[in-house]
Amino acid sequence: MSVKSPITTEVITEAQRQIRICNACRYCEGYCSVFPAINRQRQFATGDIIQLANLCHNCQGCYHACQYIEPHEFKINLPQSLANVRVESWQTHSIPSFFAIRFQQSGVAIAAILVIAIALFIITLQNLNTTDGNGFYAYMSHSMMVLMFTPLFIAPLIIIAAMLKRYWQTINGKPIRLTHVQQAISSAATMKNLSGGQGQGCNYEAGDRFTNKRRWFHQATMFGFLLCFASTATATILHYVFQLPAPYPLLSLPKLLGLPGGILLVIGCAGLAWLKVKANPDLGATSVRGGEMAFILLLGLTGATGLLLYFATGTSLVPVLLAIHLGTVLSLFILMPYSKMVHGFFRLAALIHDAQQKAR
């Protein structure tokens, strides 16, 4: 049996009503993974609705193809209904949940305050620094960076792992096989569910016209983030395994991964922010637009400040830019379980569960 979820009854009931109508119609069966998943069953418990909501990528193609949207008496708006369930599923599975709710309400303000506070704290540490290291370590010692980053990196991952465990119980997930993970990763990497079923894209910002812009910007953001993470990981290996501390030259692996990663991250986040402004707010969870925009801006600022810091190397701007960059990165990790960053983890879990159901 699924674990009882504290998601609002009205939100679940409305999603169940609309999904039953979609299951009877089946016009949108080829649009994404949501509709084949709907067609596999007739009854939809709370856990089933939460799974479908996190499987939905909000491409909005089904809305523009639907003959039952308002002014029809059925009043179908599946993108918004599933978005409401999806957001509440993140909030109610988070630990503690009120942090996630507060961030969605005042995300931009919370992110800005946190970045500024951490940056000022780092500037204070820089003034107390007595080391004479090279590169960034001339302003802040390596041991101090490790002392700050390690707990603030590990703690959010532990929280997210606990959230995913609760989510997996809610949707009645089964033991995971490697083939299920491979299918989920392939779908996520190609953004298959933003292709509109035939590769023409989705309707997110262009109404009834198809476009691949959102798919491309999502891919730029995702691969940019992964490249930046790989850059940090390789720098860590070089430092601890090969005893090669930073700074690293332009043709080193950390730079060859980090520079294109930062550029892709900035392009992707700028594009997603632009699309968010153009999109119809009535087809998403309107109560969390501030939190979603805060996450996009924070992620984009991480890439932008990293690039600025690189190009400012050797100038008097380095201490301030280093503080802002580290403040942004730390804020991103601290807020990870409570911002839309967590959607990537939940969506991958939903894709894994969908692969399990297909294999039955």
pLDDT in tens, the chain (360 residues): 344 445 678 899 999 999 999 999 988 887 888 999 999 888 899 999 999 999 998 888 889 889 999 999 999 999 999 999 998 898 888 888 888 888 888 888 999 999 999 999 988 888 876 566 666 667 777 778 888 888 988 999 999 999 999 999 999 999 999 999 999 999 998 888 887 666 677 766 656 677 888 889 999 999 999 999 999 999 889 988 988 887 788 889 999 999 999 999 999 999 999 988 888 888 888 667 778 888 999 999 999 999 999 898 888 898 899 999 999 999 999 999 998 888 899 999 999 999 998 877
Vertex 319 angle, CA 291 and 226, to 5°: 45
Output the pLDDT for position 59: 85
Q: What is the pTM of this model?
A: 0.86
d(CA 306, CA 312): 10
Residue 353, CB-side half-sphere exposure with 13 Å CA sphere:
27
Query: Which domains are delineated in the chain?
Result: 9-91 (no CATH), 98-358 (1.20.950)
Closest CA to 209 of 76, 79, 61, 71: 61
Which phi and psi angles does 312 have, rounded to 5°? -95, 5
Structure tokens at 151: 């707990």
CA-based R_g, the chain, Å: 22
Output the pLDDT for position 333: 92
- Residue in this structure with the two tokens 């992620």, named with its chain if needed: 299
